[in-house]
Amino acid sequence: MEKAQEVRVSDMVNWIVRILLILAGVIAGWFVAPDSNRFDIIQMVIALFLFAFFLAVAAFWPSLVRWRRGKA
């Protein structure tokens, strides 16, 4: 890959990780105080669950659409 394209790919991954961690931070903030020692660990676990959830939705999207429409 060219250097410029490599930078674009890493920027895209950086944005995805940031969005997941921001969303996970908000969710973790509902259950744990942000100044707690465990906050970062819980935030990372929630981010991994969110990543797995979004990946599963993307993988099964056609099946979910067919099921929702009643054509399963």
Higher-pLDDT residue of 39, 9 = 39
pLDDT at 22: 95
> What pLDDT, on the 0 to 100 scale, is given for residue 68?
87
* Count: domains in the chain: 1
pLDDT at 33: 93
Amino acid at 3: K
Determine the pLDDT at residue 67. Answer: 87
Beta strands in the chain (DSSP E): none
Domain that holds residue 27: 3-69
pLDDT one-digit tens code per residue, 11-65: 888 898 999 999 999 999 999 999 999 999 999 999 999 999 999 999 999 998 9
Which residue carries 């970062």 as its tokens? 40
**Rounded Cα–Cα distance for residues 32 and 45 (Å):** 13
Q: What is the pTM of this model?
A: 0.75
